Amino acid sequence: MNIGVLALQGSVKEHIKMITSVNKKIGVVPVRTIDDLASVDGLIIPGGESTTIRRLLDSFDLSTPIRERILAGMPVWGTCAGLILLASHIDGESTYFGLLDVDVKRNAYGRQIDSFVADGDFDGMYMPMVFIRAPMITRVGDGVTVLAEHDGVPVAVRQGNILATAFHPEMTRDSRVHKYFVGMIDSKD
Ligand code: GLN
C-alpha cells in the first residue's frame, strides 16, 4: 500500500512520520506531480494555509487529477486546511474541491495565539486534539457522519471515502487517526 501526502505546503513531514509509525511496510509518497498521485492508494491533504495550498495545486496542475481520483473512490483525508479545500461551502470564499457536504468557516476558533489542545472522543477513541487556526464546521450534510465533536461542534467527519478533521493528529504522538485512515484504504473494494 502507498499513501500519498500532498507535499506543496504545510505539515507534510509530520504526516509521513505518523504513517510510517503505524506500519513500516506502508510506502509514503510526498505528492507533487500527477505521476506521484498515480502511485498512491490514498491521499492526505495536510494542514497549512489553504489559500497557499489551493494556489500551488493550481500551478502544479493537480486540482483536476486529485478531484477525479476522489470521485473515483480514492480515500482522502484532509486535516485543517485540507478540510477547507474538501468542503462544499467555505464562508465568504469560493469552494475548491467541494466534494464533502459540509460548510466551514476559516479561522473561526481565533488566531494563532488562540491555538489549543483539547481531549476528545474520535470514533470511540479518546485522544488529544490540536487546533491551530482551525476552520469551524458550521453545517453537516445528511450523508456525512460526525466522528468527533468539540463543545458540541463537529471536528471530524466522514462521507464515504472522504475523511476530514479540523484538528491535527499528526502534531501528537497518537497515531490512531492515521491508523483509522489506513483502515479506510484497506477496506476499500
Ligand atoms: N487557518 C488556515 C486556513 O485557513 C488553516 C490552519 C491549519 O491548517 N492549521 O487555511
Q: pLDDT for 55-81, tens place per residue?
A: 999 999 999 999 999 999 999 999 999
Can you read off the three cell numbers belonging to residue 49? Answer: 494555509
Q: For residue 165, report the distance from its CA to the centre of ligand 1, in Å.
A: 12
For the chain, how many structural domains are there in total?
1
Q: For residue 54, report the distance from its CA to the centre of ligand 1, in Å.
A: 12
Q: pLDDT for 102-121, tens place per residue?
A: 999 999 998 888 889 999 99
- Which domain, by its residues, includes 146? 2-188
CA distances for 173 relative to 39, 66, 126, angstroms: 27, 29, 13
Say which CATH number the domain at 109 has: 3.40.50.880
- Report field, pTM of the whole predicted structure over 0.85: yes
Ligand 1 pocket, 104 CB below 6 A? Answer: no
The angle, 0 to 180 degrees and rounded to 10, between the axes of the packed helices 50-59 and 63-71 is: 100
pLDDT value, residue 153: 97
Mean pLDDT over each residue of the chain, to the nearest integer: 96
Q: pLDDT for 130-145, tens place per residue?
A: 999 999 999 999 999 9
Cell 476559516 belongs to residue: 106
Ligand 1 pocket, 46 CB below 6 A? Answer: no
Helix/strand/coil (H, E, C) string of 53-121? Answer: HHHHHHHCCCHHHHHHHHHCCCCEEEECHHHHHHEEEECCECCCCCCEEEEEECCCCCCHHHCEEEEEE
